[in-house]
Amino acid sequence: MNIKKTVGEAAVELIEDGMTVGLGTGSTAYWAIAKIGERVKKGLNISAIATSKESEVFARELNIPMVTFSEINEIDITIDGADEVDPDLNMIKGGGGALLREKIIATASEKLIVIVDDTKLVKQLGAFPLPVEVIPFGIESTRAKIEKLGCKTELRLSDKTKEFITDNGNYILDCEFPMIKNPEKTSQELNGIPGVVDNGLFIGLAHRVFVGRQNGSVNIIQK
């Protein structure tokens, strides 16, 4: 059984004619986009905006009508995955490297629907290394300041020798904290460091979390 496919397709049922839809990035969001493509083929009338170049390419292959922020005022619903979700629906995202565009689209959305399998539910954030997008210039200085917050950092690589480059031309530092007890404070501290573009802490943005279970069921968590 493909849990990611099941939960991704379940969330797509929320999409209605006339909506502007944010398309997530990652292995679970892939199945949501695929289902949206099926519904568009059957007559669903929507427009969409993607959180990554990869998702946009896939959506265009499925003939999903794409728009840019210059063409829309708001996004009705965004469906995206997460790397960790805590009981307050705070999240760590960015495992796929798209955290900045994901956050821009999430904050522009009336509803952010998160799709995960049950292994992504945690009591406290931090077991998954927190992705932080940084500009290449001065990365040594930026990295040192980040580590003063109490974490170990690792520069993400696309292979053994080459830096991973985001869609925005930046690098990602994966930051290992003991645990993140105060996500809001940690996010503010990180974003206050010159050279940091944004971080993968998504606080208070999720409206509902669709959770795929091993038995094939899907539970919905909301505040």
Domain membership of residue 184 as a residue range: 130-197
Which structure tokens are listed for 130? 């927190």
Tokens of 33: 């986009």
> Do 137 and 106 share a structural domain?
no
pLDDT of 151-206, one tens digit each? 999 999 998 789 999 999 999 999 999 999 999 999 999 999 999 999 999 999 99
Alpha helix positions (H), 13-166:
27-41, 53-61, 99-107, 139-147
Distance separating alpha carbons of residues 218 and 118, to the nearest angstrom: 9
Indicate if 59 and 135 belong to the same structural domain.
no
Q: Which of 61, 102, 163, 189 is catalytic?
A: 102
For the chain, how many residues are written? 223
Query: What's the pLDDT band for 80 if we cut at 50, 70, 90?
Result: very high
97 and 32 in a common domain:
yes
- CATH code for the domain of 42: 3.40.50.1360
Distance CA 195, CA 184 (A): 19
Tell me how far the alpha carbon of residue 181 is from its chain's centroid: 21
Do 192 and 207 share a domain, yes or no?
no
What's the pTM?
A: 0.96
Examine the domain organization and report whether 208 and 183 are in the same domain: no
Compute how many other C-beta atoms are within 10 angstroms of the C-beta atom of residue 17: 9
Query: In the chain, how many domains are there?
Result: 2
Among this protein's residues, is 133 annotated catalytic? no
The residues near 84 (Cβ < 8 Å, ≥ 6 apart) are 91, 92, 120, 122, 125, 126, 127, 128
Instruction: Specify whether 30 is located in the same domain as 115.
Output: yes
Q: Is the domain of 72 the same as that of 34?
A: yes
Same domain? 97 vs 42: yes
Residues 61, 117, single domain; the answer is yes
Please write the tens of the pLDDT for every residue from 107-166.
999 999 999 999 999 999 999 999 999 999 999 999 999 999 999 999 999 987 899 999
